[in-house]
Structure 1
Amino acid sequence: MSTDQVVRPPWVRVAAGTSARSREPAVQPRRVFAQVIAGALVVLLAVALLGVAASRRLAEAEAVNDAAKTANLLADAVAQPALSDALLTGEQSAVAAMDTLVREHVLGGSIVRVKIWDPSGRILYSDAPALIGQRFPLGSEEQDALVHRQTRANVSDLTAPENRLERDRGKLLEVYRPIWTPSGKPVLFEIYLQYDEVAARTGQLWKGFAGVTLTSLLLLVVLLMPILWRLLNQLKRSQVQREALLQRAVEASTEERRRIAGALHDGVVQELAATSFAVAGAAERAWSLDQPDLADDLRSAAGTVRTSIGALRSLLLDIYPPSLASAGLEAALTDLVSNLRSRGTAVTLQLAPQSGLDAAGERLVFRVARECLNNIAKHAAATAVQVRLEPEERHTVMEIIDDGVGFNAAERLAHPSEGHFGLRVLGDVAAAAGGELLLSSSPGFGTRWQLRIPHP
């Protein structure tokens, strides 16, 4: 057809495909267990990282506390008893006596440096002779320790100029507290300790923490596995039961449609038809009796009854199309296009031998095709129509193409004419059945419908 060669207007989505007709994905126990194990591993990793950080902080706090106790013990038992006022003036004998005492009783083990400061920031003594006599400003914490007679401990700032000789020893802890000369003058006693003890204690704390925490988490996962397995089995059974109930509901709905259609056709429709014939006969008799007014009224009543019969038969086709149920989808679509052919419209019907549709899918195709073909007959003024139905890998696709006058699809969907909601209703029908309905049309370019139905 010529409509295939022209540039088509863009597609407008009337109904997006839903999962109403497709089955919910089955629960896969392996996938669920894999997700649980992956989640447990993530939790274990997070706990491990937090545990390391917590252990390091706790170990550092304990190491600082132990270092403060060591500094207090050394200050009270060693440094203060040996401190003399002569050290304040830098006498060599006082410096030598302090050096001997420090090297014999203080240095060694984890203690790598000793310094004694006066309040002005001058180093009175250090086991590193190059520092003796040098002056560095005391920080606020050091001054606070002198004023309030407190012991302070923290990680050494090796970038500070007074710590330049300790930079090659790695990370250190420094502890300082005041001591007093025999005359009562305060000086600051400071020791530096290796940080290795903090790392060692961190490892010890982490091992204890990890042993309990990780074992508890693993035990929890192991205990959850049987419970999770049972829940998955129950969920799977519920899913099967739900699908069975849905299937029975669909079958019951189909049977009810068939029953209602049969009852209407064999009852009300037949009675209305008989009534129509009776009224028409009465009209003829009235005419023969020279009662033209009565005859006209009876003919009008007969026409009204026939119109009602036509509307009722259309409703029966909607409820349960007889050709679709008895002869199949191809025969039903052939019946639908016969109305257009009788008007002189050239209709091409291309149907694949196997559509891949179940009964619900065939009903959806029939209903959408009927609405589209009715719209073409009423509004399109088309000379040629093409109807195609063919299965694809995951969908069955129906296309209805005409070369009629076309319309602004996006505008019609957004702002339907008053009392005309055919497009929206058609979209709702397709969406409720799980189909995707697309529309391509614009004035002068005809109209193209595409219905995509997922395979059951």
Structure 2
Amino acid sequence: MAITRFAVLTFLALAGVASVTVYMSLHIARDEAVRDARNRTIGIARGIAAPLVNTEVREGNPEAMRALDDALSNRMRDGTVSHMVVWDVDGTPIWGDSPEEIDHDDGLPVALTAVEAVEGDAVDRGPEPLQHVGTGTDDLVEVYVRVLDADGTPFVFEAYTPRGKIQADARVLMRELLPLTLGSLLVLVAAIVPLSLTLARRIDRANAGRRDILRRSLRSWQGERERLAQSLHDDVIQDLSAMGYALPVVLEALPDDQRSAAARAMGEQMTGVLIRSVRALRGVLTDLAPSGLEDADLDAALHALAQRHREHGLGVDLSTDPDLGVGKAAGTLVYRIVREGLHNVAKHADATAVTVRVARRDALVDVTIDDNGRGPARPEGEDGHVGLRLLEHFLTDVHGSLELVERPGGDGGARLRAVVPARLPELDEALRD
């Protein structure tokens, strides 16, 4: 799945970057083509027109005009420039490749007829349609350049470059830019893909190892608790129960006199202590190995846990959703959270009441424990809630969470909130094993 996601995202990223690259390359190529038209016009104006424009040309000398006409007409034969006009700075045309087209021209821009204009100023008037007599309409780029003629007198040179020429130049630049840019992207992707695949495989192996550690940890935890519960049941509880049954018999055998009364009273107290100890150990036994922690069994186990705390004087208000839909592993975690939360409230919080809510929220189970005690601060001189920290680490490993904060509302007390995935199939399998 990680490799598939990487491949799809890489393709989308490459397509996006390629689209932006094509768009930017197109604009760059167009701008560069227009810049070439500007530079070409400046070159013709300075290198060809300026040396030939002089007083004789301005006065209409046929020989001088023919020399200028031949030079500029020859420059137009390669198709890079389709129309040229030489203007005086006052807007009077001096020469043009076609007198008819001069008559249809809009004249000079105001900026180039101003005295402040300096030699070499160029103005790109952008694509403007120019009416050619008998040839229809061509899309041209019009460029004006102000230069000095052979006598040092300023004039304005105007040239029109066909849009097709600019587009052709842009396509040439595109063919040069795109292979380099897109090729670099492909080389980068080709270098990244093997590294990403290797990283994805390492992540998969790490995740598999983490899942195996979790399974082993849960299986070991469950096995140790069951062995401890079995040992308590078979040895300690049985022995204490036997003592609880035997002690009354021993007390009955004592003589009914003044000297035996004190021993009988002490024996009766010991019998009460044994009975309470056996009951407490049976409660511990239930906590260590509850009979079932799925759905209805979890609800029953939680209510039994709450009842044991009520018997010790803590007011517990417990509510659970009627259908949590949890597996055994998730149910075990929910039970551990509630048990650890109630244990910490009873031991550390100095609380008289606690509210426990267990609710299903989409694919998660939300556990909230609120108490009216002294808040979540660490008890003075104690190491803190080790059980909660261990639970927090375990929940983080299964993509859950646990936090201990102040109870909302500002009335004091603490809130323990945990989020547990409702289904943990791999851990359920480990518990079945």
What TM-score do the two structures reach when normalised by structure 2?
0.60
Partner of 2:147: 178
Amino acid at match of 1:177: R
Is the 8 Å Cα contact of residues 84 and 181 (structure 1) preserved in structure 2?
no
State whether structure 2 residue 243 is matched by structure 1 residue 303. Answer: no
Partner of 1:40: 14
> How far did residue 174 of structure 1 move?
0.9
SS in 2 for 1:169: strand
CA distance in 1, matches of 2:103, 2:20: 49
CA distance in 2, matches of 1:49, 1:133: 36
Is the 8 Å Cα contact of residues 83 and 180 (structure 1) preserved in structure 2?
no
Partner of 1:236: 204
> Cα RMSD over matched residues?
5.0
Partner of 2:220: 252
CA distance in 2, matches of 1:124, 1:374: 108
Return the match for 2:34 from 60, 74, 90: 60
Identity %: 18
> How far did residue 107 of structure 1 move?
4.7
CA distance in 1, matches of 2:263, 2:91: 130
CA distance in 2, matches of 1:33, 1:157: 44
> How far did residue 178 of structure 1 move?
2.5
Q: How does 1:244-323 map to 2 (within 5 A)?
A: 244-277=212-245, 280=248, 288-290=256-258, 298-321=267-290
Deviations 1:5-34 (Å, cap 9, x if unpaired)?
Answer: xxxxxxxxxxxxxxxxxxxxxx46445434
CA distance in 2, matches of 1:112, 1:397: 82
Change (3 A) 1:229 1:139: same
Partner of 2:356: 423
Q: How does 1:44-443 map to 2 (within 5 A)?
A: 44-78=18-52, 80-81=53-54, 84-86=57-59, 104-105=73-74, 107-108=76-77, 109-126=79-96, 127-129=98-100, 131=102, 138-140=109-111, 142-143=112-113, 147-156=117-126, 158=128, 165=131, 168-180=137-149, 182=151, 185-277=153-245, 280=248, 288-290=256-258, 298-321=267-290, 324=291, 329=292, 362=294, 366-372=297-303, 418-421=351-354, 423=356, 427=367
Deviations 1:144-191 (Å, cap 9, x if unpaired)?
Answer: 796321241524363xxxx76479321414131223485x54332222
Is the 8 Å Cα contact of residues 104 and 131 (structure 2) preserved in structure 1?
no
SS in 1 for 2:59: helix
CA distance in 2, matches of 1:128, 1:257: 107
Change (3 A) 1:187 1:220: closer
Change (3 A) 1:157 1:122: farther
> How far did residue 273 of structure 1 move?
3.2
Is the 8 Å Cα contact of residues 71 and 175 (structure 1) preserved in structure 2?
no
CA distance in 2, matches of 1:197, 1:284: 123
Is the 8 Å Cα contact of residues 30 and 167 (structure 2) preserved in structure 1?
yes
CA distance in 2, matches of 1:391, 1:47: 52
SS in 2 for 1:168: strand
CA distance in 2, matches of 1:138, 1:120: 11
Amino acid at match of 1:254: Q
Amino acid at match of 1:206: M
Deviations 1:340-369 (Å, cap 9, x if unpaired)?
Answer: xxxxxxxxxxxxxxxxxxxxx64x763432
> How far did residue 200 of structure 1 move?
1.6
> How far did residue 37 of structure 1 move?
3.6
| Greater mean alpha carbon deviation, residues 192-201 or residues 279-288 | 279-288
> How far did residue 319 of structure 1 move?
0.8
SS in 2 for 1:193: strand
* Structure 1: 5+ residue stretches without partners: 1-26, 330-360, 380-386, 399-415, 436-450
What TM-score do the two structures reach when normalised by structure 1?
0.58
Partner of 1:337: none
Amino acid at match of 1:45: S
CA distance in 1, matches of 2:276, 2:74: 120
CA distance in 2, matches of 1:149, 1:395: 89
SS in 1 for 2:7: helix
Change (3 A) 1:280 1:74: farther
Change (3 A) 1:283 1:145: farther
> How far did residue 61 of structure 1 move?
2.6
Is the 8 Å Cα contact of residues 51 and 149 (structure 2) preserved in structure 1?
no
Change (3 A) 1:46 1:106: closer
Amino acid at match of 1:240: A
Deviations 1:383-425 (Å, cap 9, x if unpaired)?
Answer: xxxx988989x99999xxxxxxxxxxxxxxxxx9944445158
Deviations 1:248-271 (Å, cap 9, x if unpaired)?
Answer: 222111111112112222343334
Is the 8 Å Cα contact of residues 178 and 186 (structure 1) preserved in structure 2?
yes
Amino acid at match of 1:210: L
Is the 8 Å Cα contact of residues 42 and 120 (structure 2) preserved in structure 1?
no
* Structure 2: 5+ residue stretches without partners: 312-320, 332-348, 359-365, 369-390, 401-419, 426-433
Deviations 1:319-338 (Å, cap 9, x if unpaired)?
Answer: 113xx3xxxx5xxxxxxxxx
Change (3 A) 1:96 1:228: closer
Is the 8 Å Cα contact of residues 3 and 197 (structure 2) preserved in structure 1?
yes
Is the 8 Å Cα contact of residues 90 and 113 (structure 2) preserved in structure 1?
no
Is the 8 Å Cα contact of residues 57 and 65 (structure 2) preserved in structure 1?
no
SS in 2 for 1:150: coil
> How far did residue 370 of structure 1 move?
1.8
Deviations 1:24-74 (Å, cap 9, x if unpaired)?
Answer: xxx464454344344333333333333333333333333432332123223
Amino acid at match of 1:197: K
Q: Aligned residue pairs: how many?
A: 343
Change (3 A) 1:316 1:195: same
> How far did residue 82 of structure 1 move?
6.9
CA distance in 2, matches of 1:47, 1:298: 94
